[in-house]
Amino acid sequence: MRLFPRHAAIVALLLGSTPLFAQIDISGSWLPYNDSDPLSNNPGPRVYPLDFLGIPFNDLGRQRGYLYQGEQGSMPERICAFYTPVYINIGPFGLKIWNETEPRNGTTLAWHINGWEDRAPTTIWMDGRPHPSKYAPHPNGGFATGTWADDVLVIYTTHMKAGQLRKSGAPASDDSTMVTRLFRHGDQLTMTSRIDDPYYLAEPYYLTRTFKLDPVASIRAVGPPCIQGDEGVPDEKVPHYLPGKNAAVGEFQKLYNIPAEASMGGPETMYPEFRKKLKDNYQIPEKCPRNCGGPGEYPLRGQ
């Protein structure tokens, strides 16, 4: 077939639209590898209060973290509340991902990531729509848009609610933003997120996680319903510590012999140089009392 200039122009236009054809299929059920950061990533209250290791907090983030009391999770209004979309990087559950297509040309309008019992569903809009106004509500799943950068899906999330970076009470403000990159390598899906918070982080906080394709598709598209039970915190009570009176100060540090300057976080604690700095002075505890084994060996705190 002879190509006329007009056809050649169309072909050139199509070839130039590499993002359209560079898209890869990330749909399916993805099971998480929970080997890394198991204390904070696995289910239940296994994370220690005031465990701010590796979080690039500024002073205000740390101060606010010290006011947090774990009982807050049992407040009537918070029992069925979700974590913010940041939780996709640290929650214990897998992902179900599917796409919504434009019916005439088959392009992907949006990617959907399932919600679960403590994480709201996420819609990643691929149709170029702008992010909402500063006056718009912040839904549980935030507002996310995506673009392809070669084979990587880059997701930009704004309009998140205030919440936590980690279950230890590390705060995140409602002006936080997150850029997540999804890489697929065969049956592995790697997620890298950068979280920025203008109030509580001195530098961007990075989290990474890897998932593996689940051939039997065991991850459901929706989570279980939540029943709002009575967990012992009365209406209107706001559990919190006062400055300088957090009962858990030192507990986590003492258990693992972690220097305070490391456990309280800060930008310096993210980098390899900090580890080198501590190495000479660090004393491994003679006996690790708990949470020292592999996945599945994490007794509840206090047991």
Binding site for another protein (CB under 8 A): 60-61, 63-64, 67, 72, 75, 77-78, 80-82, 114-117, 120-121, 128, 130-131, 133-141, 145, 147, 149, 154, 156, 161-162, 171, 173-175, 179, 181, 192, 194, 198-199, 206, 222-223, 225-228, 235-236, 238, 240, 242-243
Radius of gyration of the chain (CA): 22
Of 5 and 225, the one with the shorter C-beta distance to another protein is 225
Of 137 and 272, the one with the shorter C-beta distance to another protein is 137
Q: Which residues, including other chains, have CB under 8 Å from residue 141's CB and lie 6 or more apart?
A: 85, 115, 120, 121, 122, 123
Of 140 and 168, the one with the shorter C-beta distance to another protein is 140
DSSP 66: H
Give SS3 for 20.
helix
At closest approach, how far in Å is the CB of 164 from another protein? 11
Four-CA torsion 89, 38, 301, 293, nearest 10 degrees = 180
Four-CA torsion 86, 88, 93, 97, nearest 10 degrees = 150
Of 92 and 139, the one with the shorter C-beta distance to another protein is 139
DSSP 124-142: EE-S-PPPPPTTS---TT-
Of 161 and 184, the one with the shorter C-beta distance to another protein is 161
At closest approach, how far in Å is the CB of 98 from another protein? 15
**Phi, psi values for residue 263, rounded to 5°:** -70, -25
Closest CA to 66 of 54, 82, 50: 50
Of 77 and 102, the one with the shorter C-beta distance to another protein is 77
Chain centroid to CA 44:
16
Here the tokens at position 242 are: 């006062």
- Say which residue the tokens 């054809």 belong to: 21
At closest approach, how far in Å is the CB of 196 from another protein? 10
At closest approach, how far in Å is the CB of 63 from another protein? 5
Q: Which residues, including other chains, have CB under 8 Å from residue 283's CB and lie 6 or more apart?
A: 257
Q: Quick check: 90 and 207 in contact, CB under 8 A?
A: yes
At closest approach, how far in Å is the CB of 212 from another protein? 23
Distances (CA, A) of 291 to 32, 92, 131, 274, 300: 20, 16, 42, 23, 9
Of 78 and 212, the one with the shorter C-beta distance to another protein is 78
Of 227 and 284, the one with the shorter C-beta distance to another protein is 227
